[in-house]
Amino acid sequence: MTLQEIGAAAKQASVIMNRMTVNEKNAGLSAVAKALVANASRIIAANDKDIAEAKKNQMSEALLDRLRLTEERIEGMAEGIRQVVALADPVGEVISMKTTPSGLQIGQKRVPMGVIGIIYESRPNVTADAFALCFKTGNAVILRGGSDAIYSNTAICEVIREALQSEGLPADAIQVLQDTSRETAQEFMRLNQYMDLLIPRGGAGLIRTVVEKSTVPVIETGTGNCHIYVDESADIEMAVNIIVNAKTQRLGVCNACESLVIHEAVAKEAIPAICQALYEHQVEIRGDEIARQYDEKIVPATEEDFGKEYLDRIISMKVVPDIDAAIAHINTYNTGHSEAIITKDYGNSMRFLNEIDAAAVYVNASTRFTDGFEFGFGAEIGISTQKLHARGPMGLLALTSTKYIILGNGQIRK
Amino acid sequence: MTLQEIGAAAKQASVIMNRMTVNEKNAGLSAVAKALVANASRIIAANDKDIAEAKKNQMSEALLDRLRLTEERIEGMAEGIRQVVALADPVGEVISMKTTPSGLQIGQKRVPMGVIGIIYESRPNVTADAFALCFKTGNAVILRGGSDAIYSNTAICEVIREALQSEGLPADAIQVLQDTSRETAQEFMRLNQYMDLLIPRGGAGLIRTVVEKSTVPVIETGTGNCHIYVDESADIEMAVNIIVNAKTQRLGVCNACESLVIHEAVAKEAIPAICQALYEHQVEIRGDEIARQYDEKIVPATEEDFGKEYLDRIISMKVVPDIDAAIAHINTYNTGHSEAIITKDYGNSMRFLNEIDAAAVYVNASTRFTDGFEFGFGAEIGISTQKLHARGPMGLLALTSTKYIILGNGQIRK
């Protein structure tokens, strides 16, 4: 099939999906969850081919682990889909309806986007997760995964399509691009005729390419150079506790803390305490000149360090003279993801909340909470770091658009 | 100034603007309205240069009229700004705030976008209109108008900057690109480092170019191939009345009706009545074979006619066997703007509302109502025909983003 044909098939499926009731969508998702478990061995057999190929290409053990599917992981995928069944469907809600002076009733109704494209890297569980969220909101999805996971993704897609068909639902609600070449990916990013939204999920390079090349509207997800600012009035014990959690609770995630900003008035007390706690977790600290005066094991930071998302046991540290400098530093280097202040001062907490330009701004809490589940959305398609349409964790609502519905009885414009 | 410098200046202004109170913003806007009127002769003198240039280049009288500024039009610009003063500012509203089981308070707050770019064609009043809406929502704006209006736009911009400065507000809240070359426009569309949103306002060609070339998130505005479907059960008199209004009340607007779809069961009664009424307004009708059986003056329509936004005294007409064919025809040819059904049938009205894929879907009313003022927003920056972020008429709310604010007392993630 050509990309045009794939796009047309998705569009056609989306028209049928737009008419589906929540009961029908939930029945489809339940059938899919069941089918994934029932076909686990078939999916694992396909995954084995990807794993064999990846080993031949000397893939690292960490990446192999992300790629590998087991019965337990497939059960996890099915469980994720069952959780989506349990979520409320935002589609169909009429947000507001007003009557104009001439008697027109004007309302705004939530509707599916239509066709959503997702470009992602090697974790094959994204195939099932993304499908479930798109399906629940009445959107057809076209998935372009990495070549590393093509057998796994194709097998998962086939199982889902069969399950949908057996329920009398449109199989083209999900399609996986078989051609994983870069050329096809670039053509995919320009499929405006059929595609309403494109979401890249993956590393900074992938996201940059999609933003650069796509003519379809994009929601930029992810990279997080997240800061914690320890204010003059901070409770140092709380600061240490939150910093350790935000840096070490999980290293490779976008809401992990990558950068510390310390008010100089508390540097003497805070820096040794923070360093000691982080060293216990084998974290390397790269600090500026002033920071290094308080702990000799701090490695000198380069300019590049302050802008870096390490995703590793490394953190940068900057000492500032006041909150203005802290806000300026964070607004210069952050990636618009999650930023926290540790403070007892009301005025400074307000300034931080108002002036930091990011999707999620925290007072006295760990940046690790920026997550669709923690925010109570029940699921997440990604975390938006752009300001258009959706910002922060994206749940089902981010996959919907609106439409004005206007009910009249013959009104014309004067 | 280079584009980088312009971007950086706008960004810096946006930081200050983010801290401005509504009172400060309104004081700035009032000062601007006053200054525009006080400096009318200076603006008209600049406009005279554009007009002289345009005449030299044989600009058509219609376009000259769009370009021309008079005292009355400048008073109109000032009045538009005063109306924006009167509007409620959506910035700062906390849409929702919930407390999680661990005691975190998570809220979503409306915030300015930051820096907004606008690319537009020759009407210089857009300079003041767009500034006012952006300023009210705390956004700095960079305007790239056409070379035709460069003297007018620059003069308006200067007057606004002086007024802001006299109020102690940042002049860089508005900047007009002096270099109107295509190369600079293309570089402008890639100013992601500083610009959060780009809105093209103008013809289909301009919008296509911006969607094609921009890496900054875009809201596509405008073109409207709007349909009116006369259902089997339509009140024919109401249909005629609405069609005449939607086609002829104003010709050159995106919410004007460009295409009629007629159920064959009422063709015999409806077509002659519609034709007669439209002929009285000198409208040419281009119809399919079946339509032409009912009125010999109907010109044969080509495939191209059904997809065309005429913005002129021309309309296309298609006869369909049932509502399914009507919906399919409209969803094939529409541009996602405004579509109407004329019907007495409950089921068909519901199907039309649910299944037509457009920003505004009407039952028994003229498509001409799709407009920020008519919808009660008090102002309009354009009409979005895309599904991301904003769909339909865009008021102040469309120029805002949101930010999560999270208030804790030491919470860490388990």
Express each pLDDT in A294-345 by its tens digit. Answer: 999 999 999 999 999 999 999 999 999 999 999 999 999 999 999 999 999 9
DSSP element (H, E) containing B110: strand B105-112
Q: What is the pLDDT of residue B122?
A: 72
Q: What is the pLDDT of residue B312?
A: 94
Contact A274, A240 (CB under 8 A): yes
User: What distance in Å separates the CA atoms of residue B230 and residue B354, rounded to the nearest whole number?
Assistant: 17
Give CA–CA dist A345/A349, Å, rounded. 6
Taking an 8 Å cut-off on Cβ atoms, the answer to whether A211 and B219 are in contact is no
CB contact under 8 A, B359 and A411: no
Give the up-direction half-sphere exposure of residue A330: CA atoms within 13 A in the CB hemisphere: 32
Is B411 close to A357, i.e. CB distance below 8 A? no
Q: Residue B12: is its pLDDT beyond 80? A: yes
Number of H helices, E strands in chain B: 15, 16
Main-chain dihedrals φ then ψ at residue A340, nearest 5 degrees: -130, 150
Would you say residue A202 has pLDDT above 90? no
B332 at the A interface (CB within 8 A)?
A: no
More confident residue, A378 or B149: B149
Whether chain A has a CB inside 8 Å of the CB on B211: the answer is: yes
Tokens of B317: 């007409």
Angstrom CA distances, A132 to A78, A357, A384, B202, B247, stand at 10, 32, 19, 39, 43
Which residues from B are below 8 Å from A114, CB to CB?
357, 387
Would the pTM of this model clear 0.95, i.e. be above it? no
pLDDT > 90 fraction of chain B, expressed in percent and rounded: 93
Is a pLDDT exceeding 80 seen at residue B222?
A: no
Say yes or no to pLDDT of A252 above 90.
no
With a pLDDT cut of 70, the percent of chain B lying above it is 100
pLDDT of residue B319: 98
Q: How confident is the model at residue B123 (pLDDT cuts 50, 70, 90)?
A: confident
- Rounded distance between C-alpha atoms, residue B328 and residue B405, angstroms: 44
DSSP state letter for A396: G
pLDDT single digits (tens) B323-377? 999 999 999 999 999 999 999 999 999 999 999 999 999 999 999 999 999 998 8
Residue of A106, A401, A409 with shortest CB distance to B364: A409
* A9 DSSP assignment: H
A94 touches chain B (CB under 8 A): no
Residue B260: beta bridge partners? B228, B317
**DSSP for B208-232, written as a single string:** HHHHHH--S-B--B----EEEEE-T
What's the token pair of residue A333?
């280097």
